[in-house]
Amino acid sequence: MKILLVDDHVLVRQGVRRLLSAIANAEILEAATSHDALAMFRQQAPDVVVLDISLAGASGLELLKRLLLENPQTKVLMLSMHAEAIYAARAVQAGARGYISKGASAEELVTAVTRVAEGKRYIEREIATDLATRQFSGDGDLLERLTMREMEILRLLGEGKSLTQIAATLGVAYKTIANACSLMKSKLAVERTADLIRMALEMRKV
């Protein structure tokens, strides 16, 4: 099985590679950027792509869409620091076959990769439970108005980062973040950045 692992953090790639080595006959390829990942995808035709949802300077979902344009049958497992159901829902809607957080067990990661490679779907157990609960309760309708990049900005606001720090973290201009916050306020029907921060803190409790 040929696995393409895409994450911009070396230590994360090293750790995930070590865990995936438990899969029999696994050949693990690595890429740190969207550009490198797309080039390797074209050259190596991996059986499954394990893709970080929050690549520096680009959304993992943007790369997911490009991979699916290259080959609609591409099997992608999104790997994320976010354990909130809304992120999993967005990933699946964008075409991912599976979603697992970086806090999952080694056993569950191996299971997820194997299932996705077999053409099945896999959502981390706890996240799948939350996702089902949200579908029945209708919770999170407001947040579903946001793009993945806006969700990322909201999360960083909840961590106490300033707009300048968020711009540096995401590798974009300050004005880009400021404009995004203005649009988020409109979508969420709030007037102040403080209201966005409050919503971000509430989201972290979910």
* Domain coordinates in residue numbering, the chain: 2-137, 143-205
pLDDT at 141: 56
**Least confident window among 5-9, 43-47, 127-131:** 127-131
At how many degrees (to 10) do helices 85-94 and 125-137 cross?
Answer: 90
Query: What average pLDDT does range 47-69 have in this prediction?
Result: 87
Domain 143-205 classification at class level: mainly alpha
Average pLDDT, the chain: 85
Nearest to 149 by CA among 89, 27, 60, 36: 60
Q: What's the topology of domain 2-137?
A: Rossmann fold (3.40.50)
% of the chain at pLDDT higher than 70: 88
Q: Which residues contact 103 (CB under 8 A, 6 or more apart)?
A: 81, 83
Indicate if the pLDDT at residue 27 is higher than 60.
yes
